[in-house]
Amino acid sequence: MIAYREPVTVVIGGELDHCSAPRIRQQLDDLLADERVVHVVLDLENLTFMDSSGIGVLLGRLRLLSARGGSLSVKGMRPSVEKLFRLSGLDRVIGIMDSRKAGRA
């Protein structure tokens, strides 16, 4: 099987909540239908809000990627999203590529 060498980056903006979760889940599943996609990075810099539905979307995609030996990571989280990410324990199973605090004086 041929896999992408570099991670595929997906930008998610706006809100990832019970209203938008089904649409975002479907778009990610459409991407993951290509089994060559093994490593995905979610760029969350423009994500302003996430609730438990969003957590479910992330965990479901992590499960799909892990089943094919892949990985899911995030980057660019706003402080409010990062707080939920850490409080929910997602930081223990989904890699954080950077922090918006990194590099700031």
Residue 103 lies in a domain: no
Residue 50 lies in a domain: yes
> Tokens for 27?
């778009």
Residue 102 lies in a domain: no
| Residue 53 and residue 24 in contact, taking contact as beta carbons nearer than 8 Å | no
d(CA 46, CA 80): 12
Helix (H) or strand (E) holding 95: strand 95-96
Residue 105 lies in a domain: no
Q: What is the CA 78 to chain-centroid distance, rounded?
A: 13
**Residue-by-residue pLDDT tens, the chain, 105 positions:** 666 678 999 999 999 999 999 999 999 999 999 999 999 999 999 999 999 999 999 999 999 999 999 999 999 999 999 999 999 999 999 999 975 444 433
Local structure of 9: helix, strand or coil: strand
**Domain enclosing residue 91, as ranges:** 8-96
Residue 2 lies in a domain: no
- Total domains in the chain come to 1
Residue 3 lies in a domain: no
> Tokens for 73?
């990571």
Residue 85 amino acid letter: F
Domain containing residue 44: CATH number: 3.30.750.24
Q: In what order do the strands lie in the sheet with 8-11?
A: 8-11, 39-43, 71-75, 95-96
